[in-house]
Amino acid sequence: MSHWWRNAVIYQVYPRSFQDDSGDGVGDLPGITRRLPYIASLGVDCIWISPVFASPQKDMGYDVSDYCDVDPLFGTLADFDTLLETAHGLGLKVITDQVLSHTSDQHPWFRESRLDRTNPRADWYVWADPLEDGSPPTNWHSHFGGPAWEFDPQRGQYYLHNFLAAQPDLNYHNPDVQDAILDTCRFWLDRGLDGFRLDTVNYYVHDDKLRSNPAAQKGPQVMATDLYGMQDNIYNKNRPENLKFIERLRKLTDEYDDIMMVGEVGDMGDRSIKLMGEYTEGTHRLHMAYSFAMLSPEFSADHFRSCIEGFQQGAPEGHPKWSFSNHDVARHISRWAEHATSDDDMARLACTMLMSFEGAIGIYQGEELGQTESELVYEELTDPPALRFWPGIKGRDGCRTPMVWEAEAVNAGFSVAKPWLPVKEPQATRAVDTQEGVPGSMLTFYREAIAFRKANPALQKGRTTFLNLPEPLLAFRREGGGQVLTCVFNLSPEPCTLSVDAEATMVGAHNAELNDGTLRLPGNGFARLENGGELTLAE
């Protein structure tokens, strides 16, 4: 096996927003296929495609009604096969988003399950009687607001939903459910898929005793929409039995050549890093995992260091994937704006930092253009939490607006029809055609950063050792393959100066100056040094 995934750069495609070839305002599989040469030109190794399965689209495809078919909104199974063949011809691996913790309430399994308490699939979902006063069985919250339980009068019971009420949770304590899910995964592996991105991978199994969660050991949340965070969510997810199913899934993928699974650990803070370690331990669980730790508003040297060192300590043989943006969080250029000298300076700093991290790397479509968050008004929204809690919650639509291809074209070249989300002027100005082949453009910068990562053994194979510098300086050494690189980043808009105690040479992209043992970093400055010794803050 090649273990291609270990240092891979993975490009996330959000199908609704990548390229519309059918002319209905929604992106589709033929559109993705047409744009595959562009993705390959970035130098990435793999594309991750968010859900394209049959779905009522209550949560943009994360409510699956048929795991083994493509939604007509995106095309057909034949379109998927064409995409896969084209990608492989370009040297790209393909993984898809597998939403295995829950289905749509329109899935045939759930339609049968809710009929009565004795049908063959009666126990395929998490059903429970009301408490004596009619209230839900536990105090668990839904991520999208309100209780995680919905009363169904047909059965006279509640069913569990960690997200929308239209997304009932499967009962993984039932071995028949596990077998059925494994069969759906085999369906895609048999078609030649290279692996899976596993949505909410730590949510599959719930506490079979239905114990209520204790209160979180921190101050109360100020946002009423974040009631979920007021509990220590130990019984509705992160159950030890969850790992048993992960091990079954790994056995399935091991029947095929060079398959990779990367799990989304849905948690925050230190616990998420710990779970990443547990879920990637050994060779019998996930190949990789990532969490929301680096997808948060936190932007400090201590935060990034604690994420990486925490994973090193918790899973010395495990493998992480690090990303700064995806379809669930505000784009990082906007999210970290208060720490930036400019949007472009933050984009270049973040790119260089991410490409220097040990492990696999994730890029979200448009990130390579320096794309920013779109500002939307209520009438433009589609995201369920935003529609319910506006203006307290702005939702995820701002990071999901269409990819911009041609600045002067209708809808920036995404679609000839009105797009499902609008293309605003600030985003259109960053279109591909304004940056393609332009020296110094963000697109050129990303291509060069990816190429530099692949050309330097220290960034491919090197272990990470952090240097002790004060905030806002993040510095670490990558050593491997006969090469030593010292990577230094200034995470503030204020300049700083460092002393270098050895003969050092700057390599790769940088915006710093190195003269006579003095390294001058501007605001959002970055440099990588060969043969650099100890670094100290200059007086």
Q: What's the average model confidence in pLDDT over 341-369?
A: 98
* Partners of residue 475 on adjacent β-strands: 488
Q: Which domains does the chain have, with CATH numbers?
A: 9-102+175-454 (3.20.20.80), 462-537 (2.60.40.1180)
Whether 199 is a known active-site residue: answer yes
Nearest to 523 by CA among 302, 350, 335, 340: 340
Amino acid in position 49: I
Distance CA 26, CA 79 (A): 15
Judged against a pLDDT cut of 90, whether residue 47 lies above it is answered with yes
DSSP string, 418-437: PPSS---HHHHTT-HHHHTT
Give the Å distances, CA to CA, from 302 to 32, 250, 336. Answer: 38, 34, 15
Any alpha helices (H) in 1-57, and if so which ranges?
Answer: 29-41
Distance CA 363, CA 255 (A): 29
Which of 199, 267, 343, 367 is the catalytic position?
199
Q: Going by C-beta distance under 8 Å and a sequence separation of 6 or more, which residues neighbour residue 370?
A: 333, 343, 344, 347, 430, 442
| Eight-state DSSP code of residue 188 | H
Q: Over the stretch 467-480, which tens digit does the pLDDT of each residue have?
A: 999 999 999 999 99
Distance CA 64, CA 444 (A): 38
Tokens of 241: 């039995």
Judged against a pLDDT cut of 90, whether residue 539 lies above it is answered with no
CB 271 within 8 A of CB 237: no
Q: What's the average model confidence in pLDDT over 129-135?
A: 98
Nearest to 456 by CA among 423, 483, 432: 483
Which of 133, 190, 255, 317 is the catalytic position?
255
Q: Over the stretch 10-23, which tens digit does the pLDDT of each residue have?
A: 999 999 999 999 99
Burial 171-192 (b: 16+ CB within 10 A, else e): bbebeebbeebbeebeebbeee
CB 61 within 8 A of CB 51: yes
Distance CA 38, CA 212 (A): 49
Q: What is the mean pLDDT of the chain?
A: 95
Query: Can you give the pLDDT at residue 389?
Result: 87
Distance CA 152, CA 112 (A): 13
What's this model's pTM, rounded to 2 decimal places? 0.97
